[in-house]
Amino acid sequence: MTAHGARAVERCRILADGPFSETPGSLFRFWLGPAYQRTLTQVAEWMEEAGLGTRLDAAGSLVGRYEGLVPDAPALMIGSHLDTVRNGGAFDGNLGVMLGIELVSALKEEGIRLPFAIEVMGFGDEEGSRFAAPMICSRAMAGLIGSIPEGMTDSSGVTMAEAMIRYGLDPGRLSEAARRPDELIAYIEPHIEQGPAIESVDGEIGVVTAIAAQTRHRVTVTGQSDHAGTTPMTMRQDALTAVAEMILAVERNGRSGGATQVATVGQVEVVPNTSNVIPGEVRFSLDMRAETDAARDAMVEAIRADLHAIAASRGVGITFDTPQVLPAAACAPELVEGLSRAVTTVTGRPAQRVLSGAGHDAMAMVDLCPMGMLFIRSPGGLSHHPDETVRVGDVELAHRALLAFVKEFQS
C-alpha cells in the first residue's frame, strides 16, 4: 500500500528546491513567475498520475478534478496554495495541495467513486508575495473581485495585468475564475498550524473553528531629510526615530488584548537609506489581527490614534493605505463536526479545536461555500521560515482523517 503521508512530505520537499524556486539556496515562489510555472507543470503531472483531470483557471490557479458517480456533479474541493513567502518553508500551503492529491490517489486505489466530485485546488496567490494584495486567486474564485486592482506593480515595476499577459492569461477575463455556489459542496483546507497550540498539548492534528479577522496597512511617515552632521538634534524631523516610537506603540497595543490579538510591523523601508543623511521618509507594514471583527477594529482604532499622536509630537506627517481588510471567517459547524469525528477515528482521542491566527484561502472561499480546515502540527510552532517542518506520522494521520471524512461526507 502507498504511504500517502510520506509521499506528500517528500513532494513538498521536492518543490522547495532547484527549479521550483526563484532564488538559489532558499525558497521563494511567487504567482505567475517562472518557478511558479514549473511548479504547476510538476503538480499537474502528480495530479494526473492520481487520476485527476487538470486545467488552469482564469486567475492562473491549478484545478484537478476526480469525477463522481455522476459526471459534472458538484464537487467537494480540497486544497491550498502553491506560492510562498520569500525565504519560506516547504510545507506552508503546499502540503494541503499534496494531501488533496493523496486523498484522490487513495480513492482511486480502492476503486471508489463518490456521489460528488473531488476537486484538488492549487491556488496561485495566497501570500501576496509579488503584489500587495494577497489571495487574489481565491478571491477571484469566490467572486469577490471581478477585475485586477488598478496600478498595482511588483518590485520590478511589472503591473498585474502585464504579469498575467506574459503568463498567457487575459486580465480582462479574470471574472471567469469565479465559481457558482451550486458547483461546490464545500471547501476543505488542510494546512500546517503555523503556531504552537497543537504541539503544546502533544497533539498531531486539530480542527479549526474560525480564522481571525485581519487588517493590513501600509504606513508612510514623512519628515525632512538633512545633513546628519550639521543638523542639531533639537531641529530634526527624523522620520525613522518617529517610526521607532510607533513600532513600540504597535507592540504595546498588540499585547494589550491577550492571546487572541496580535499586531506586527514586519517591513520597513527608509528613504534615502544613507548613513550620513537624516531619514526623510519611512514606509512600514502594519498587520493587525484579532479573534473577532470588533476586537480587531478596536485595536486598529487605538493603534492609529497612538501613531497620529506620535507623529504630531515629533512634527512629522503620517498617512495610511489599507490594501487588505478581512473579516473573521467561521468554519461551517457541520464541517467542524465531521472533521472532528474523522480525527477521533484515526487518533482515538477527542479532536482538539483551534483558532487560526494566520490567514488562508479559506477566508475567501467562505463567501462561496461552506469551508473547514484541518491543521497539522508545526514542530516548534515554526512557519514562514526555511526550517519549517512536519512529522511524517502527523501527515499520515491527516491523510487518514481526510479519507475518513470524505467517505462519511454527505452532500
Q: pLDDT digit string (tens) for 108-140?
A: 999 999 999 999 999 999 999 999 888 999 999
Do both 345 and 201 map to the same domain?
Answer: yes
Q: Looking at residue 284, which CATH number applies to its domain?
A: 3.30.70.360
Asked which of 290, 307, 326 is the last residue of a domain, the reply is: 326
Selection from 80, 42, 20, 44 nearest residue 398 by Cα: 80
| pLDDT average, residue stretch 230-240 | 97
Asked if 199 and 381 count as a contact pair (C-beta separation under 8 A), the reply is yes
Same domain flag for 101 and 129: yes
Last residue in a domain, options 326, 357, 388: 326
Domain co-membership, 208 together with 230: no
Helix (H) or strand (E) holding 210: strand 205-211
- Regarding whether 364 and 306 lie in a shared domain, the answer is no
Please give the C-alpha separations between residue 371 and each of 78, 294, 331, 358, 361, in angstroms, as whole numbers: 10, 22, 5, 16, 10
The reported pLDDT for the residue numbered 324 is: 80
For the stretch 45-76, pLDDT in tens is: 999 999 999 999 999 999 999 999 999 999 99
216 is in an annotated binding site: yes
Annotated binding residue at 384? Answer: yes
Asked whether residue 387 falls in the same domain as residue 283, the answer is no
Residues 151, 238, single domain; the answer is no
pLDDT by residue (tens digit) across 163-183?
999 999 999 999 999 999 999
Q: Has 193 been labeled as part of a binding site?
A: no
Residue 191 is labelled as binding a ligand:
yes
| pLDDT for residue 106 | 98
**Residue 20, pLDDT above cutoff 90:** yes
Q: Tell me, what CATH number does 144's domain have?
A: 3.40.630.10
**Range(s) of the domain holding residue 192:** 4-212+328-408
C-alpha cell read off for 186: 464545500
Q: Chain-centre distance of CA 396, in angstroms?
A: 23
Regarding whether 82 and 227 lie in a shared domain, the answer is no
Residues present in the chain in total: 411
- Do 133 and 166 lie in one domain? The reply is yes
Judge whether 121 and 155 are in contact, CB under 8 Å. no
- Let me know whether 262 and 320 are in one domain: yes
In tens, the pLDDT along 261-274 reads 999 999 999 999 99
pLDDT for 152: 87
- Contact between residue 179 and residue 77 where contact means Cβ atoms under 8 Å apart: no
Mean predicted lDDT score pLDDT of the chain = 96
Is residue 127 annotated as involved in ligand binding? yes
Per-residue pLDDT at 286:
97
Known binding residue 396? Answer is no
- Burial code (b: 16+ CB inside 10 Å, e: under 16) for 229-254 equals eebeeeebbbbbbbbeebbebbeebb
Q: What is the pLDDT of residue 1?
A: 55
Q: What is the mean pLDDT of residues 16-20?
A: 95
Using the structure block, give the residue that is written with the C-alpha cell 519560506: 88
> Is residue 271 domain-shared with residue 240, that is, in the same domain?
yes
Number of structural domains found in the chain: 2
Q: Is 289 annotated as a binding residue?
A: yes
What does the pLDDT read at residue 411? Answer: 56
Mean pLDDT of 378-388: 95
Pick the closest to residue 179 from 77, 324, 43 (CA basis).
Answer: 77
- 348 φ/ψ angles, rounded to the nearest 5 degrees: 75, 10
pTM score, whole prediction: 0.85
Q: Please give the angle made by the CA atoms of 344, 347 and 348, to the nearest 5 degrees.
A: 65
Rounded Cα distance, 338 and 329, in Å: 18
Residue 258 has pLDDT above 90, yes or no: no
pLDDT at 260: 85
- Give percent of the chain with pLDDT exceeding 70: 99
Q: Which triple of cell numbers denotes residue 372?
A: 473547514
The reply, when asked if residue 236 is annotated as ligand binding, is: no
Distance separating the N- and C-terminal Cα atoms of the chain: 29
Domain finish residue from 271, 294, 326 = 326
CA pair distance 15, 44, nearest whole angstrom? 13
Residues 110 and 190 in one domain: yes
320 and 364, same domain (yes or no): no
Q: Which of 219, 272, 212 is nearest to 246 (CA)?
A: 219
Phi, psi of 245 (to 5 degrees): -65, -40
